[in-house]
Amino acid sequence: MQLSVVIPLLNEEESLNELLERIQAVCTQRNISYEIIFVDDGSTDQSWEIISTFSQNHPQVKGIKFARNYGKSQALNAAFKMVQGEVVITMDADLQDFPEEIPALMKLIVEDGYDLVSGWKKKRYDNVLTKNLPSKLFNWAAQVISGVKLHDFNNGLKAYKKEVVKSIDVHGDMHRYIPVLAKNEGFTKITEKEAPHQARLYGKSKFGTNRFIRGFLDLITVWFMSSFGSRPMHFFGFMGTLMFLIGFLSTAWLGIHKLIKVWNKVPAQLVTNDPLFYIALTMMILGTLLFIAGFLGELIVQLKRKRTDDYIVTQYLNIK
């Protein structure tokens, strides 16, 4: 199979018919063998019934239904386990992404040899204050921290080699940072392609402004995991050692200073009456705790425990 199209969705009943028709038209015209995997992330409208009808009439259409709304990352993760196409393309179900971009994205993967291609909505039709400006700030921060030079990390339109999606673990809200996760796994041929964008035709956005807060926290997590995920002692051990040494040297200085005064028969207060003593003691304790955290982190890494899925699938369609 040449292509797998993965579409996570939540309450998008109005757009599904047009979306399917446009994808099928593109694949038929280009003679592309394909599958379409819809992941219903807890919809409360008729989305799943529509997908069920699709699957009965079109063997290429497959469906995954979640028990409730778990999030886009979990939806992608569930679909990535099932994909069979050599090229995997993800897109949103709201018709803001154009299925007509599929051939160009496939060409960049198959002929140009890229591991991952991310869509770039250079010209957006979203609210400037609530989406455009925060998105630009977020993407700038993501570039600086991750080292991956993309203009639009959060764009749902992306293309991958199958090996990429089979190698990464997408959970939490990490779907924004799939390019960073791919880079960490050694897939470094990453590029972007300008993609047309249009205003939402149906329904309303499922993402609130709090996604930027969660996104920033996830960005810090990705940075830490990519830098120290396999060697946590390098971070916690260094910080712990540094804090312990500062506390120890401060305590030693207080003791030596007291001994000098006693030797010279100069009145000296008790060391425990000096606030610096308690600051130094606290730093030594924190340093020790950080060092222990580093050891525990190393043990966890060595155990290599596999993540358990944090979602429940209630039904599959056309998936063996």
Angle, nearest 10°, between helix axes 16-29 and 102-110? 50
How far is Cα of residue 271 from the mean position of the Cα atoms in its chain? 50
Contact at 8 Å (CB) between 61 and 319?
Answer: no
* CB-CB contact of 47 with 11 (8 Å): yes
Q: Is 62 in a helix, a strand, or coil?
A: strand
The mean pLDDT of the chain is 85
For residue 27, how far is the Cα from the chain centroid? Answer: 29
Tokens representing 181 are: 């996760």
Q: Is the pLDDT of residue 314 over 90?
A: no
* Cross-sheet strand order for the sheet of 61-66: 190-194, 116-120, 158-161, 87-90, 3-9, 34-40, 61-66, 313-317
Give the model confidence (pLDDT) of 196-216 as tens digits: 766 666 666 655 556 666 667
* H or E element, residue 295: helix 275-303
Map residue 89 onto helix, strand or coil: strand
3-state DSSP assignment of residue 121: coil
136 three-class SS: helix
Are the C-beta atoms of residues 277 and 314 closer than 8 Å to each other? no
Beta bridge partners of 70: none
pLDDT (tens digit, 9 = 90+) per residue, 235-245? 888 889 999 99
The CA-atom distances, in angstroms, between 194 and each of 120, 154, 191, 201, 211 are 5, 14, 10, 21, 24
pLDDT at 217 over 80: no
Provide the 8-state DSSP code for 230.
Answer: T
At 13-35, the pLDDT tens digits run: 999 999 999 999 999 999 999 99
Band of residue 229 on the pLDDT scale cut at 50, 70, 90: low
Sign of the C-alpha dihedral computed for residues 17, 25, 176 and 182 taken in this order: positive
Residue 252 has pLDDT above 70, yes or no: yes
Contact 250, 211 (CB under 8 A): no
Section 179-201 average pLDDT: 84
- The predicted-structure confidence for 266-310, as pLDDT tens digits, reads as follows 777 777 788 888 899 999 999 999 888 888 877 776 665 555 566
Confidence (pLDDT) at 62:
96
Question: With pLDDT > 70 as the criterion, what percentage of the chain qualifies?
Answer: 83
User: Can you give the pLDDT at residue 33?
Assistant: 96
The β-bridge relationship of strands 61-66 and 34-40 is parallel
* Angstrom distance (rounded) from CA 73 to CA 153: 14
Q: Tokens standing for 154? A: 């959060």
CA torsion sign, 223 to 229 to 231 to 237? positive
Q: Please tell me the predicted confidence (pLDDT) of residue 202.
A: 65
Q: What is the pLDDT of residue 230?
A: 66
CATH architecture of 3-228: Alpha-Beta Complex (3.90)
Residue-wise pLDDT for 142-164, tens only, equals 777 777 888 888 888 999 999 99
* Residue 62 structure tokens: 């497959």
DSSP state of 49: H
CA dist., res. 168 & res. 183, Å (int): 10
Give pLDDT, residue 152.
84
* Full-model pTM: 0.72
The predicted-structure confidence for 106-134, as pLDDT tens digits, reads as follows 999 999 999 999 998 876 655 545 556 66
Query: Residue with structure tokens 């993402």?
Result: 207
Name, in order, each residue with C-beta under 8 angstroms of 255's C-beta and a sequence gap of 6 or more: 271
Mean pLDDT of 39-59: 95
Distance CA 127, CA 234 (A): 43
Residue-level pLDDT at 136: 74
